[in-house]
Each structure stands twice: as C-alpha cells, then as structure tokens.
Amino acid sequence: MATGNGRCNLSNKDMSLSHFHSHNQDFPSSVLSAVTPMDCLSFLSELGIVTTSEGDKLFPMSKTASSVVDCFRYAMDELKIEIAEEASVTDIVKTDRFAVSCEDGRTFSSDLLIIACGGACAAYTGTTGDGYKWLSKLGHKIYAPKPSIVQLVTDNSVTKALSGLRLDADLTLTADGDVVAQQYGEVLFTDYGLSGPAVLQVSGEVSRRVRKDRLTVPMKVSLRLFDEETLSCIEEQLKERRISFASRSMDQLLLSILPQKIGAMLLKTALQRPMALPVSSLSDSDIKKILTTMRCWDFQVLGTRSLEQAQTTIGGADCDEFSESTMQSRIVPGLFACGEVLDVDGDCGGYNLTWAFASGILAGSSTAAVLSEESEAADGN
C-alpha cells in the first residue's frame, strides 16, 4: 500500500528489458516472456483492477494503492484461499516436507513452498531480509543486498544550504569520468545530498559500485539546468543586467532566472567570491563561469542512503539456481521463489511490481500444475 506514494505505480508502457537488472540478465528476460507485462495487466484486470496512465506510468484508475490490495483480498476470499494473519515466520526446514514455524508457535507443513517475502529494504513494510536467511540455509547462493531507488549522499556543503528546494534538471551520473546514467526530472536538495525522482532513478548505478560501504570508483552527479538555446538568452540577460542592475549586489543577479536561494548558491559556486560585490563587477569571464555551472553543476557522490530508505533491493537469491520456466529451485525440489527475494531489481516506474506480478504468476501457476498432476495421478491410481 506504500507503493507509488500510496497510488501504486503498477506497470509501465515502456517495458524494455533494460529496466530490469540481475547478475543473470537472461533470467528476468525469460520470465517476462513466459508471463509478459500484458499478461500481468490481464491478470489484474480479471481481479477488477482497471488502470490509467500518467506519462508512461500505469496506476489503478482510483490512483489508490489500497484499492489494488482490496481487489486481491476479494479475489482470495471468493476463491476461499486461507490467509494466516499475523504469522511471522521464524524458520523453514525441509525434511521430506517443508516445515514452517512462526513466532507465536504456529507451524505449517507442505510438499510445495513459495518464498515470496520480498527483499531487505524498507523494513517498516515487513521485509527484513528473512527470505535470504532461509534460502541460504536451504543451500542457495545470495548476492549481498544493496539499496536501490534511494537517495544519494553527496558532498553536502551546497545541498544542505538548499535543503528542501527542488528544480528540474538533466542529470548525468559519471563513474571515473564515464557516463553511467542520464535522467531528466526533478532533483531535491537535502541535508545529506540529493533526492527526487531523477536521483532515485539513477541510484542503483551508485549502489552497484559500493563495496564495504565505500565507492569503488569516484562518482559525480552533474546537473544541467538549461538547454543551449536558453543559456544563450541568459548570457544576453546577464550582459544587460551588468548595466541596468549595476548597483545591485551580486546575489540578486539571477533573480527570476532561478529561485533566489538556488541562484545565489549557484553564483557562489561558480564565482567563489563574496556575493556582496555589485553586479557591475561582473566580468565576461565571470559570465562564462556562471553559464558553465548552469551547464554542469557538479556534486561529488559519496554513496547512497541505507536499505531502510530504499524502495527496492539489488541482489538476493541467485537466479541461476531457479528454473526460469517454473520458478522452482534447482537445488531443493518443491521450493519456489518469486519477486524481490530473487536477484532481480527494476527501475523506478512500475518495474518492480511488474517483476513481482510476473514471477508470482509463474510460481503460482507452476505449483498449481504440480498439484493438479499429482491429483490426476492419484485419481488414475
């Protein structure tokens, strides 16, 4: 219910596979061709979930995440699916069957088991990484969980002063000088660094380069605030203002071009000298420096915020050890997994729910197929 700020961004019109990431890139690609994003939408539609779009993003028409949960609940009630509420699972053991133990002493046993308990981010939603513990104990390899769709920690001398302010920018993320991600959108300045949709979208590229809490390569976020055409208009404006606003103090120079506080900070960064000087002191080279900073306002990246603040988990159970056509473990017969517990993460924009739906539908239909084969065999006997 927390998804999409309570609105549930459940899919996207652009379902290119580049939006999904895994150490085994073929795995999400195979699963999403067995159960396509369109199949997921048809499945949701059968449950009564109608969608609407905002740009490429798809939401329930109600734009209310709880209505999606309600549609699932009604469908489960009608199918008489039993839900064990408040069952906090503490252990899973496999002997001839699976034995599942809960904190309150309840136990469950079954021949087949689907682990669908999410990743390790946002523990307040109930996902504390328990699935990794169980899968590891059952013999599966786990890639260390890392946060994605998360805020970036940067050198904060500028961002702290601008905390709470936002602007639209073309964001470029570089690692050791190489461009690794680009995104246009809103950027929010914060006490610790940068947030906002454009920043969250590129954050996975930072996480993937963090080892033992440190970046393995120097990384930088550069913000381009204006296109070239606008910059040449701004250049003319600044030359004019040098004459018409000659006696004003420098920190007023970008008034109406940028929000006042952001403009003053950009000038300070670009010119590195006191803002009390008059606008008349502006040289041609100063104007060039201002335009350069508007083209490329750099922030040194120090890392990401923690899993607790993230919206999805990079890493998880190694997909090589699961069948892409059934989601069944290749190590433990009868064991299935789906969703974020596996080593697949999606970009921001409805990709993580699509992965959860597609892999969940596949795991569910595969277990149902096993059960119906067994019951047919029993009938035959």
Ligand X SMILES: Cc1cc2nc3c(=O)[nH]c(=O)nc-3n(C[C@H](O)[C@H](O)[C@H](O)COP(=O)(O)OP(=O)(O)OC[C@H]3O[C@@H](n4cnc5c(N)ncnc54)[C@H](O)[C@@H]3O)c2cc1C
Minimum CB distance to ligand X smaller for 3 or for 154: 3
Q: How far is the CB of 84 from ligand X (least distance, A)?
A: 9
The site string for ligand X over 259-298 (x = CB under 6 A, - otherwise) reads: ----------------------------------------
Distance CA 95, CA 111 (A): 10
- Residue closest to 198 by CA, chosen among 32, 317, 349: 349
Q: How far is the CB of 118 from ligand X (least distance, A)?
A: 3
Q: Single out the residue of 1, 2, 144, 277 in contact with ligand X (rule: CB under 6 A).
A: 2
Minimum CB distance to ligand X smaller for 5 or for 244: 5
Distance CA 26, CA 319 (A): 9
- Residues that bind ligand X (rule: CB under 6 A) add up to a total of 27
Residue 312 touching ligand X (CB under 6 A): yes
Distance CA 88, CA 66 (A): 22
Distance CA 37, CA 56 (A): 13
Determine the distance from the C-alpha atom of residue 75 to the mean position of all C-alpha atoms in its chain, rounded to a whole number: 28
Distance CA 134, CA 49 (A): 33
Task: Extract the tokens encoding 40.
Answer: 């997921």
Q: Contact, 87 vs 80, CB < 8 A?
A: no
Q: Contact, 39 vs 366, CB < 8 A?
A: no
Between residue 3 and residue 62, which ones bind ligand X under the rule CB under 6 A? 3-4, 8-9
Residue 352 touching ligand X (CB under 6 A): yes
Dihedral sign for Cα atoms in the order 125, 128, 130, 135: positive
Q: Contact, 341 vs 117, CB < 8 A?
A: yes
Q: How far is the CB of 221 from ligand X (least distance, A)?
A: 22
Q: How far is the CB of 70 from ligand X (least distance, A)?
A: 15
| Binding segment toward ligand X, per CB under 6 A, in 25-33, 184-192, 276-284, 352-360 | 352-360
| Binding segment toward ligand X, per CB under 6 A, in 224-232, 262-270, 285-293, 351-359 | 351-359
Span between the terminal Cα atoms of the chain, in Å: 46
Q: Single out the residue of 170, 318, 340, 343 in contact with ligand X (rule: CB under 6 A).
A: 340
Q: Single out the residue of 206, 356, 358, 363 in contact with ligand X (rule: CB under 6 A).
A: 356
Distance CA 171, CA 221 (A): 7
- Hey, is 276 helix, strand or coil? coil
Between residue 87 and residue 126, which ones bind ligand X under the rule CB under 6 A? 87-89, 116-118, 121-122, 125-126
| Binding segment toward ligand X, per CB under 6 A, in 163-171, 211-219, 254-262, 338-346 | 338-346
Chain contacts with ligand X (rule: CB under 6 A): 2-4, 8-9, 87-89, 116-118, 121-122, 125-127, 130, 311-312, 339-341, 350-353, 356
